[in-house]
Each structure stands twice: as structure tokens, then as C-alpha cells.
């Protein structure tokens, strides 16, 4: 029995992944970014290691006061980052399809788990987009999922960062699996049978499969409020709100560490370097 192996690629877990279901049985495997996981592990050792060494050094010298126990925040956070890094390094996910059922296996730091669902248990093939924002960039993920009444049994069949071929792959999955195709429309979820994917909206309206009931003012654009009084239409801007308090906290929190490191009395040189250095590191991360 031939098994086709498709490796999920891209920069890190979840950025680029697809499985070809045209010739079952097929099996695809997805892993996390090993480089990213190693970076997290090394970063956690630096983040939690140096402050811990500094804390025990000061406690051993007898010059430390209770205020220095704030250093404990660093090893605590460091342990969390370390565990996440190890999990990312070990994480592996497999999806197998034999033509009648799907088997999904997943392993990581918590161990391995596996489950099997028949194809008949799935409601359809849904395409969606997800906007991802980071500190320095943003991008859109184009995703195709096999949807199930139990969200935990949903299977991601396709993820990419480019729109090219997105719709074609969605239609292809729907036809291959003989399942309805779903997508999010202006008025909610839109469902099409696999046999209707080649038909235009006009043809679907003529067949009575699409109902037209749309009010252009019923759903104003995000950030706007629309009020109708007689013949007058009032449009009011409602957002976005400026989260100034969040920015203020992000600036002041690192400055506290910088202030303790450079201006607090009673700290030796090592303590000043640790506090000041961590404050500057916080500034680079949060500001």
C-alpha cells in the first residue's frame, strides 16, 4: 500500500502546510521550527540563569534585602519559556487519510495522542483567512479546514501565506471529498454543494439556492455608527480607541528596572548591571 508523504514547510509551525488527498492512502507530517525552538531554549537559559546566579550571589554575601526577591520573576518566566521551547522542538503532527477515515496523531512534551474519525462525520470544507500581527510585521494566513461538530476534531488541510491557488484548492478538496464547501460571507456562513462550485451566483439565484436580502446600512464599516432620521443619515466615527494606558505601562515597567539598576543605593556593581540590563532588555522587547 503506497503512502505519500508531504512535509509541511515554511517559517515555523502553522505558516505553510498542505496535504494532497487526490490519491489515498496518504499521510502528511508537520513539525515545528527547530531553529525557533532552540532559540527559545537558549533565551530561557539566559533570561532565567543570570538573574538566578546574581540572586544567590547576593544572598550568599549577606548584603541582599527582601526587595531583591523580585529577581525570582526571571527564573519563573524562564522556566515557562524553556518548557514551551522544548515542546516546540518535540512537537510533531501527522494526518493520515485512507479514503474513508482520517487519523490524526500529535506528540510533544505532554506525550502523544491519536484519534480517528470517519469522513462521513465531517460537515464540509471551509476556507478562511486569519490576520497575524507581530511587533515588526503582519501577514495573512489562507486556511482550509475540514469542519466537524466537535471543534477539537477539526482538521487543517491547507495553510499558506499567499492567496494564489487558494480558491482552487478549496474547490478541489470539496470535490475530492464530496463534501459541501463553506466560506464566511457578508451575511454569515455561505454553503455550496460540491456540484455547485462551478456555477455563477446568477445561476444559483435562478435555482433558488441563494436568497437576496441585503441592507447596505445594516452593517456599517468597522469604526462607524450610522443613524437614519427621516431623510438625513448621520455617520459618526466610533473608533479605534487609543490604548494609551497600555503604552504607558509598557514604558514605565522597564524604566523601574533601569532606575533601580542605575540609581538605587546599596547595590553592588553586579546587581546594578543585572537590574539595568534587564530594564534595557524590557525596553527593547515591549516598546
How confident is the model at residue 156, as a pLDDT?
A: 92
Residue 241 placed within a domain: yes
Q: Which residue would you say has higher pLDDT here, 121 or 233?
A: 121
- Tell whether 62 is covered by a domain: no
**Residue ending a domain, choose from 165, 197, 214:** 214
CB within 8 A of 235, min separation 6: which ones?
Answer: 220, 224, 225, 226
- Model confidence at 203: pLDDT above 60: yes
Are 87 and 109 in contact, with CB atoms under 8 Å apart? Answer: yes
Checking phi first, is residue 243 left (phi over 0); if not, alpha (psi -120 to 50) or beta? beta
For residues 280 and 231, state if they share a domain. Answer: yes
The answer on pLDDT for 247 being more than 60 is: yes
User: Does residue 43 lie in a domain region?
Assistant: no
Please check the confidence at residue 126 and state whether its pLDDT lies above 80: yes
| C-alpha dihedral sign at 279, 285, 286, 287 | positive
User: Does the pLDDT of residue 249 top 70, yes or no?
Assistant: no
Confidence of residue 109 (pLDDT cuts 50, 70, 90): confident
Q: How confident is the model at residue 11 (pLDDT cuts 50, 70, 90)?
A: very low
pLDDT at 7: 39
Among 109-123, 173-187, 188-202, 235-249, the minimum mean pLDDT is found in 235-249
Kindly state whether residues 188 and 109 are assigned to the same domain: yes
Please tell me the distance from the alpha carbon of residue 175 to that of residue 122, in angstroms, as a whole number: 14
Burial class (CB in 10 A: 0-12, 13-18, 19+), 126: buried
Mean pLDDT of all residues belonging to the chain: 76
**In this predicted structure, what is the pLDDT of residue 200?**
64
Strands 181-185 and 124-133: parallel
- This prediction has a pTM of 0.59
Final residue of a structural domain among 172, 196, 214: 214
Residues 14 and 125 in one domain: yes
**104 or 5, which is more confident?**
104
State the residue range of the domain holding 135. 4-32+91-214
Q: Are residues 127 and 236 in the same domain?
A: no
Higher pLDDT, 34 or 218: 34
Give me the residue label for grid cell 462551478. Answer: 198
Instruction: Decide if 144 contacts 126 (C-beta within 8 A).
Output: yes
- Number of domains making up the chain: 2
Q: Which tens digit of pLDDT belongs to each residue from 34-77?
A: 888 899 889 888 887 777 776 777 666 666 556 666 767 778 88
Would 52 be classed as within a structural domain?
A: no
> Residue range 137-161: average pLDDT?
91
- Given 184, 214, 244, the domain boundary residue is 214
- The stretch 102-130 carries a mean pLDDT of 91
pLDDT at 50: 74
Closest CA to 157 of 132, 127, 129: 127
Amino acid at each position: 500500500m503506497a503512502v505519500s508523504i508531504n512535509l509541511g514547510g515554511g517559517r515555523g509551525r502553522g505558516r505553510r502546510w498542505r496535504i494532497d488527498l487526490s490519491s489515498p492512502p496518504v499521510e502528511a507530517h508537520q513539525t515545528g521550527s527547530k531553529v525557533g525552538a532552540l532559540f527559545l531554549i537558549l533565551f530561557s537559559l539566559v533570561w532565567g540563569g543570570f538573574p538566578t546566579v546574581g540572586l544567590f550571589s547576593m544572598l550568599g554575601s549577606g548584603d541582599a534585602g527582601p526587595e531583591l526577591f523580585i529577581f525570582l520573576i526571571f527564573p519563573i518566566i524562564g522556566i515557562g519559556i524553556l518548557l514551551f521551547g522544548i515542546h516546540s522542538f518535540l512537537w510533531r503532527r501527522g494526518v493520515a487519510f485512507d479514503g474513508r477515515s482520517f487519523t490524526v496523531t500529535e506528540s510533544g512534551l505532554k506525550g502523544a495522542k491519536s484519534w480517528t474519525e470517519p469522513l462521513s462525520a465531517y460537515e464540509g470544507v471551509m476556507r478562511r483567512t486569519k490576520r497575524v500581527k507581530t511587533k515588526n510585521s503582519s501577514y495573512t494566513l489562507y486556511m482550509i479546514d475540514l469542519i466537524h461538530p466537535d471543534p477539537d476534531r477539526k482538521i487543517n488541510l491547507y495553510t499558506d501565506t499567499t492567496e494564489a491557488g487558494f480558491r482552487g484548492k478549496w474547490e478541489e478538496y470539496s470535490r475530492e471529498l464530496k463534501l459541501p464547501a463553506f466560506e464566511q460571507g457578508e451575511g454569515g456562513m455561505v454553503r455550496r454543494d460540491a456540484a455547485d462550485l462551478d456555477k455563477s451566483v446568477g445561476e444559483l439565484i435562478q435555482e433558488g439556492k441563494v436568497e437576496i436580502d441585503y441592507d447596505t446600512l445594516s452593517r456599517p464599516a468597522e469604526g462607524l455608527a450610522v443613524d437614519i432620521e427621516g431623510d438625513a443619515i448621520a455617520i459618526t466615527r466610533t473608533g479605534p480607541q487609543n490604548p494609551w494606558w497600555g503604552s504607558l505601562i509598557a514604558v514605565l515597567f522597564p524604566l523601574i528596572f533601569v532606575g533601580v539598576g542605575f540609581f538605587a543605593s546599596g547595590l553592588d556593581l553586579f546587581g546594578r548591571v543585572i537590574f539595568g540590563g534587564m530594564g534595557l532588555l524590557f525596553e527593547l522587547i515591549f516598546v
